[in-house]
Structure 1
């Protein structure tokens, strides 16, 4: 683990897409419990200070670094100048707090926030013209990130236009590796029905950020059977921390270690903290990953 930093995402404490989940949990509680659990860093949540110096004043005493933060891109549906302007602000903020990767997910046509759309039946797709626009725009964001010696790490995600292995293949094959890297998310791959080892083995050289998220298969099947939405699945507990669901992380971790992965592994599991206490699950994940390493 000498080249790997272990971080934790705040989404288990307070959910960005459903603020009612974890509304009672403060920012200070979240980062204090992360630090107490032994993590080295955090991604950014909706309750975090937006002033870089203020944020660092909270994180540094807890010996926490900023791993990254999510950027919602609308390359396929918005004017690119607007996307570019928003991205530059996001990049500059992350640069000022010491992060070197920028998590980007295309949200044009995304159904992940729509409660009336079936997660497994209403996934959006792009036509050839939209793919071209998307790839060109994503590479431009990569160039903007490179100006600050940062990397765009693309986040494949349930309910979006890049979810499946075929779509990940396409984005990896059609983008310049110097401009676009990959965020490898175990939970979204397995939830989608993909083989996580296929993506890991085929695109290891492009992976610059990792999310460790587990899946409860029984909840996944229930969501699929009942034609339910992504957010309904989250509320029901479709995701959990490593070691608590059905994903076998041992071959994944072994591959990362054997091939000397360098970067962050961030534990991420959006759950209802009134049902699944965020601190207890953060501890459980840390102990499980320590056992693998």
Structure 2
């Protein structure tokens, strides 16, 4: 079996903190990512938004579209309204053969509010998450009909953040709702990698390899700092530079016959962690753990 290794351009171009990465361009991000060896990239806000323009932009760097963020508002919208809101992205991703839309509810998240502690994120009841899961299933069935899978991204500062939230969402939704499994957000949120992969392995469709620095995470929690403060302080980093055991993750992926994308997503301050150097470090670590785990890494199609 084989996996593909992609990257989010967020280390070079942070859409939530544009001043942090102002010295870098999207062209530089793709050129350097491809030079390192990454064969796919998730869509960034500063890429061309029109489908043909995006296709040509990616072809210029010989790199595939391996997903991309979708800010959802399903919690406060009906399904028909949300379908209309994401229709252009669904059509584009289907046309460009992206593996999924990386969907996350953003109507009530605090992740983009630098003055709000991440500890103050919204927490819904089980019944509320179950109701959301049923709506999300309808939306995911629709996106599947459009030719693209919906993968839900649990995220710090959002109402699907911790282990309980993830379990509730997966329990209440149908198989059309897949999971974008993010190691860094899971551990930051207090979740358990082994438990999540063992229970929901058949729902994992897309994987983000993100490492964490526990001392920074602890400081953010104890001092009521925001998610964006955490990013700038270095809560996240590339695989192999933090505390997460990615060999264990790779072995579990092999055990569940995973053959999708492994995407590095490691937003941090580029002045402290130069994007090229750290992205190369992460890529080499993934190659090493995949080789040890028996996962073959596919070349660019």
Contact 1:14-1:23 within 8 A present in 2 as well: yes
Whether the 8 Å contact between 2:130 and 2:168 is mirrored in structure 1 is no
**Secondary structure of 2:75's match?**
coil
CA distance in 2: counterparts of 1:152 and 1:237, whole angstroms = 29
Question: Are 1:104 and 2:107 matched, yes or no?
Answer: no
RMSD (CA atoms): 1.5
Task: Give 1:115's aligned residue.
Answer: 114
Matched residue, 1:10: 9
Q: Secondary structure at the match of 2:263?
A: strand
Confirm whether residue 188 of structure 1 aligns to residue 201 of structure 2.
no
Distance (whole Å) between structure 2 residues aligned to residue 24 and residue 82 of structure 1? 38
SS state of the match for residue 196, structure 2?
A: helix
1:100–1:149 Cα contact (<8 Å) kept: no
- For residues 56-91 of structure 1, the C-alpha deviation after alignment (integer angstroms, 9 at most, x for no partner) is 222224321001111111112245443221111110
Distance 1:58 1:90 in 2: 16
Q: Deviations over 1:132-153 (max 9, x none)?
A: 5422321121011111332111
The one of 131, 134, 139 equivalent to 1:141 is 139
Which of 275, 280, 289 is matched with 1:278 structurally? 275
Distance 2:56 2:20 in 1: 26
Distance in 2 separating the partners of 1:263 and 1:274: 32
Q: 1:181 aligns to what SS in structure 2? A: strand
Q: Tell me the CA shift for residue 248 of structure 1.
A: 1.1
SS at match of 2:18: coil
TM-score, normalised relative to structure 2: 0.92
**What TM-score results when the alignment is normalised by the length of structure 1?**
0.95
Residue 176 of structure 1: aligned partner: 174
Match of 1:214 in 2: 211
**Partner residue, 2:53:** 54
Aligned length, in residue pairs: 290
Deviation at 1:129, TM superposition (A): 6.0
| Offset of residue 26 of structure 1 | 1.1
CA distance 1:104–1:27, shift in 2 (3 Å): same
Q: Distance in 2 between matches of 1:37 and 1:100?
A: 22
Partners in 2 of 1:88 and 1:55 — Cα distance? 16
The equivalent of 2:293 in structure 1 is none
- The 1:255/1:128 distance shift into structure 2, 3 A limit, reads closer
**Separation (CA, whole Å) in 2 of partners of 1:111 and 1:102:** 21
Residue 22 of structure 1 deviates from its aligned partner by: 0.9
Structure 1 segments of 4 or more deviating over 4 A? none
Partner of residue 200, structure 2: 203
- The answer to whether the 8 Å contact 1:267/1:285 transfers is yes
**Which residue matches 1:67?**
66
CA distance in 2 between counterparts of 1:142 and 1:226 reads: 38
Q: Deviations over 1:146-167 (max 9, x none)?
A: 1133211110111111111111
Q: By how many angstroms is 1:258 displaced?
A: 3.0
